[in-house]
């Protein structure tokens, strides 16, 4: 029975008994306790807790889940998976234990012709919580399961919770006896490999708090109602009903392994070491595609880091199988094809998914190439010194200099039989973070702490900001700082920080860049290129004394660069409009996550759980924003209380910075936000807003970049000129360009394919000459050469096999080396007569691979690998010749 059919039967069974079908929730839900949805009940938590009324008394779903706690065990065993599908039925104060047991028993034991799974009732065992006599009795009465096949277990095994605060309760697990060939007699308490758990029925009636252990956590009370939450593992049922030994051999997962076999030339089941790699690829490919499908992108923290780790483990496992070319796109295609019947969105969104995996693989291959060399040297040095622990300093260098993730270093070290000094690594990481924080602070405070400014604040109070209404104003110099120290004066050529009692200069804040301008005294000019607020309430003007000497207590005229300020203000107002447009198009989930307001341009970051903004939606947002400009709306600013701002519905992105009094920037019913920045008086002053791009910058966060005013007009003019030039070159009207360019691209691709085919045909045509040129080495016909240019990958394997075939019945070894930049790929093939003399292709590779800085492996008749030293090919050929001569 195919996996999709197993899921369909589950859904049909429960919808037929009055359950409402609920679609799988996204793997990413607004739950701070979870990185990913890890159980079918997660989307129903509010109903179980009584926080919201359930819209139906009973429901059923097939929920996609990800659990990454045992990621290191994936592949090493056949029991651990990161992605899986959990089929569940749920009751919200409706039926309880009796109903749950009846529903489950009927589905698993009914014949396949009646819509069930047809499992043998005599091979089913169950477990119950140690004091749950009611559940044990129901299993006997409803299912007729004898007492000896009902086992009692403690809290660690038969009391369910998510491991965090939330609903919980005793549970009853259903197991299937796979037979004596899989382990010992005695039920699941003796052997959970033979007795496979397929379904967990949770009698959810309690609420737990955070903390505690798996078998001892705090229970804080009863839930508002007794509920049912069950979870059947679709993949586990699949390998029972498909007659295979584990999930990796089922219909939806095995095809990924098959693709890996095709790419690597190795066979699943031939060695445990390779099998681990095949399983890692199969599991992580599914998880990665499903996670990306729900909007996560690779990053260095949170969900994005988990995704990055999964994808990079695939790439590395593929490399260890001898595959040198990119693989993630190929594996993603297999996952799409197999999973699409249940998740059609994988097809419609595959272009984005494919782009994400390909970009991540490209980045990681660069990291892997550089980092692996350094790692190999570190391992060799450690072994030469007789050590068994890789130094924490070396692990840190790999991380800091080469971007090598520490978990990858730990994994590779373990494979090399070494440990890593993690304590030293952690200490160095802490030092780095401390330095980073200090550097960030230094950029804002002049490489010293705030102590130099606090006396100024104590003596003169806060700086009065006049910039909302004035762009030039008189003030007094109350402090000067040079190289981190307070000074009485600063002379021409010195870089100086000037503190005034009052200023029209805007200090960088809220995404808005600082004002530039000049300070003039009776005898000095100071050019200002930055304004910061290193101590709350104080504005520090940074610049260079261009003429004369400026001193404390000097009277000064502060003049803001008017054109720069106006351009930044236009960008800031445009950011508010873009924010409103994005929320209008995408909903309230699209909340601001950062911004930059610079002269003539803006950058707006926002959360987007649904992923990329469609091009059509982005165009609508741009059109709507420009419509608001044409309306020439008044941009009103005013201060009010926080309570009044809330009543007005103002967006409170930075409310915590303003205390009880807040500043509102109001554009009527379209945009109303709390903001301390500067803005135009009317929207018409913006001229035009031109959206340039929209892209991901991290897990669930998107970025829109746009130009404003004259900068936008220049961009439009440039694009128009470019379009005209392309039209002239292609002799086509602008509206004909997409079709004309598509045709040209297709012609180019066809030509490239033809050229590649001609190269391959020419190379393969050289097989006869290569075979005729075989040299005799100790009675072995040896063909060991650098392959003709353009031959690599599958063509290299095909050429090696062709040459081997031309050697006939002679004992023969063929070794072909292909180079591409700084990479080497090689294939070794042996004839049957050579194998009869004990010459296995895979065992010959260690004799020459070090010469090209590589490794590889494979079967006795055909093996392959790669390296990083093309210059070593002649030495590799010589090493192979010597190995054959030595017998």
Take residue 874 and report the two structure tokens written for it: 């002649």
Beta carbons of 689 and 577 less than 8 angstroms apart: yes
- Residue 103 annotated as part of some ligand binding site: no
Q: Which residues contact 100 (CB under 8 A, 6 or more apart)?
A: 89, 91, 201, 203, 228, 230
List of long-range contacts for 583-587, beta carbons under 8 Å, 24+ apart: 584/621, 584/624, 585/613, 585/617, 585/620, 585/621, 585/624, 586/610, 586/613, 586/617
Q: What is the DSSP string of 73-93?
A: GBTTBSS--SEEEEEEEEEES
Q: State whether residue 324 is helix, strand or coil.
A: coil
Beta carbons of 91 and 57 less than 8 angstroms apart: yes
User: Residue 617 CB: number of other CB atoms within 10 A?
Assistant: 15
- Residue 576 annotated as part of some ligand binding site: yes
Residue 608: which of 699, 522, 672 has the closest Cα? 699
Residue with tokens 């090689």: 826
Backbone angles phi, psi at 566, to 5 degrees: -60, -40
Q: Largest Cα–Cα distance of the chain, in whole Å? A: 102
Q: Which residues contact 524 (CB under 8 A, 6 or more apart)?
A: 492, 545, 547, 548, 549, 550, 554
Take residue 789 and report the two structure tokens written for it: 């240019």
Q: Which residues contact 112 (CB under 8 A, 6 or more apart)?
A: 1, 118
Beta carbons of 551 and 489 less than 8 angstroms apart: yes
Distance (Å) of CA 119 to CA 107, 128, 135, 143, 177: 9, 20, 21, 13, 10
Of all helices (H) and strands (E), which one includes residue 199?
strand 195-208
- Residue 13 annotated as part of some ligand binding site: no
Distance CA 525, CA 544 (A): 9
Residue with tokens 């070090």: 850
> E-assigned strands of 393-539?
419-420, 464-465, 472-482, 485-487, 489-491, 495-500, 502-503, 517-520, 525-532
Q: State whether residue 784 is helix, strand or coil.
A: strand
Q: State whether residue 585 is helix, strand or coil.
A: helix
Beta carbons of 824 and 873 less than 8 angstroms apart: yes
Residue 23 CA, distance from chain mean position: 24
Q: State whether residue 290 is helix, strand or coil.
A: helix
Distance CA 482, CA 419 (A): 49
The b-or-e profile of 52-71 (16+ CB within 10 A means b, else e) is: eebeeebbbbbbbbbbbeeb
Residue 200: which of 159, 165, 155, 143 has the closest Cα? 159
Of all helices (H) and strands (E), which one includes residue 208?
strand 195-208
Number of H helices, E strands in the chain: 26, 35
Backbone angles phi, psi at 320, to 5 degrees: -70, -20
Residue positions forming the annotated binding site: 572, 576, 675, 679
Provide the annotated binding site for Zn(2+).
572, 576, 675, 679
């Amino acid at each position: 029975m195919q996996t999709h059919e197993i899921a369909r039967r589950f859904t049909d069974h429960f919808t037929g008994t009055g359950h409402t079908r609920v679609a799988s929730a996204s793997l990413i839900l607004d739950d701070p306790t979870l990185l990913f949805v890890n159980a079918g009940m997660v989307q129903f938590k509010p109903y179980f807790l009584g926080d919201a009324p359930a819209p139906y008394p009973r429901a059923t779903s097939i929920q996609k889940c990800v659990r990454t706690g045992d990621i290191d065990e994936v592949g090493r065993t056949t029991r651990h998976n990161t992605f899986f599908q959990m089929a569940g039925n749920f009751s919200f104060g409706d039926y309880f234990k009796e109903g749950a047991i009846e529903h489950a028993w009927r589905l698993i034991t009914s014949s396949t012709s009646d819509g069930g799974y047809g499992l043998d009732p005599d091979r089913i065992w169950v477990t119950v919580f140690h004091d749950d006599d009611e559940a044990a009795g129901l299993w006997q009465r409803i299912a007729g399961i004898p007492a000896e096949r009902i086992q009692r277990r403690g809290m660690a095994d038969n009391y369910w919770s998510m491991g965090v605060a939330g609903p919980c309760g005793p549970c009853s697990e259903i197991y299937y006896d796979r037979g004596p060939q899989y382990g010992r007699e005695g039920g699941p308490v003796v052997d959970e490999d033979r007795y496979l758990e397929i379904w967990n029925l949770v009698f959810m009636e309690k609420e737990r708090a955070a903390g505690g252990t798996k078998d001892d956590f705090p229970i804080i009370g009863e839930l508002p109602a007794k509920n049912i939450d069950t979870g059947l593992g679709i993949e586990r049922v699949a390998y029972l009903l498909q007659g295979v030994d584990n999930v990796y051999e089922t219909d939806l997962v095995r095809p990924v392994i098959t693709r890996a076999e095709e790419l690597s030339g190795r066979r699943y089941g031939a060695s445990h070491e390779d099998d681990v790699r095949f399983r890692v690829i199969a599991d992580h490919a599914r998880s990665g595609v499903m996670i990306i499908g729900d909007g996560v992108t690779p990053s260095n923290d949170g969900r994005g880091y988990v995704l990055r780790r999964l994808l990079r483990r695939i790439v590395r496992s593929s490399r260890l199988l001898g595959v040198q070319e990119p693989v993630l796109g190929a594996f993603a295609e297999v996952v799409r094809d197999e999973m699409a019947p249940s998740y059609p969105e994988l097809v419609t969104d595959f272009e984005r998914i494919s782009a994400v995996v390909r970009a991540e693989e490209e980045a990681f291959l660069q990291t892997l190439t550089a980092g692996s060399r350094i790692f190999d040297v570190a391992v060799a040095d450690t072994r030469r010194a007789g050590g068994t622990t890789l130094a924490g300093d070396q692990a840190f260098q790999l991380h800091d200099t080469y971007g090598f993730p520490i978990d990858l270093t730990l994994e590779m070290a373990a494979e090399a039989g070494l440990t890593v000094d993690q304590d030293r690594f952690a200490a160095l990481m802490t030092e780095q973070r401390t330095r980073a924080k200090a550097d960030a602070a230094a950029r804002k405070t002049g490489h010293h702490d705030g102590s130099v400014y606090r006396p100024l604040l104590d003596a003169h109070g806060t700086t009065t900001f006049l910039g909302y209404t004035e762009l030039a104003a008189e003030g007094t110099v109350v402090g000067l700082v040079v190289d981190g120290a307070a000074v009485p004066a600063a002379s021409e050529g010195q870089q100086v920080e000037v503190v005034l009692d009052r200023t029209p200069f805007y200090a960088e804040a809220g995404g808005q860049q600082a004002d530039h301008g000049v300070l003039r005294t009776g005898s000095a000019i100071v050019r200002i290129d930055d304004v910061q607020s290193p101590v709350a309430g104080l504005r520090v003007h940074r610049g260079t004394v261009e003429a004369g000497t400026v001193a404390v207590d000097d009277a000064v005229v502060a003049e803001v660069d008017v054109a720069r300020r106006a351009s930044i203000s236009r960008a800031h107002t445009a950011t508010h409009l873009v924010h409103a447009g994005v929320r209008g198009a995408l909903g309230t989930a699209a909340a601001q996550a950062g911004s930059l307001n610079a002269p003539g341009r803006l950058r707006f970051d926002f959360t987007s759980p649904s992923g990329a903004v469609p091009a059509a939606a982005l165009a609508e947002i741009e059109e709507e924003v420009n419509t608001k400009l044409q309306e020439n709306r008044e941009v009103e600013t005013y201060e009010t209380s926080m309570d009044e701002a809330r009543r007005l519905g103002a967006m409170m992105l930075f409310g915590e910075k303003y205390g009880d009094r807040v500043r509102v920037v109001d554009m009527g019913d379209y945009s109303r936000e709390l903001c301390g920045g500067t803005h135009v008086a009317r929207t018409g002053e913006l001229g035009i807003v031109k959206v340039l791009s929209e892209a991901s910058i991290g897990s669930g966060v998107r970025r829109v970049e746009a130009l404003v005013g004259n900068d936008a007009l220049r961009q439009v003019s440039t694009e128009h000129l470019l379009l005209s030039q392309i039209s002239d070159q292609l002799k086509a009207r602008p509206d004909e360009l997409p079709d004309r360019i598509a045709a040209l691209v297709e012609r180019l691709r066809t030509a490239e394919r033809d050229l590649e085919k001609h190269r391959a045909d020419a190379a393969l045509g050289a097989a006869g000459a290569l075979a005729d040129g075989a040299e005799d080495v100790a009675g072995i016909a040896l063909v060991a050469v650098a392959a003709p240019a353009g031959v690599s990958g599958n063509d290299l394997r095909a050429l090696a096999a062709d040459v081997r075939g031309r050697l006939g019945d002679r004992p023969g070894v063929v070794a072909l080396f292909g180079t591409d930049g700084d990479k080497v790929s090689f294939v070794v093939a042996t004839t049957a007569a050579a194998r009869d003399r004990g010459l296995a292709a895979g065992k010959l590779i260690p004799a020459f691979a070090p010469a090209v800085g590589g490794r590889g492996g494979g079967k006795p008749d055909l093996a392959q690998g790669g390296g990083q030293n093309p210059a070593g090919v002649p030495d590799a050929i010589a090493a192979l010749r010597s190995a054959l001569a030595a017998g």
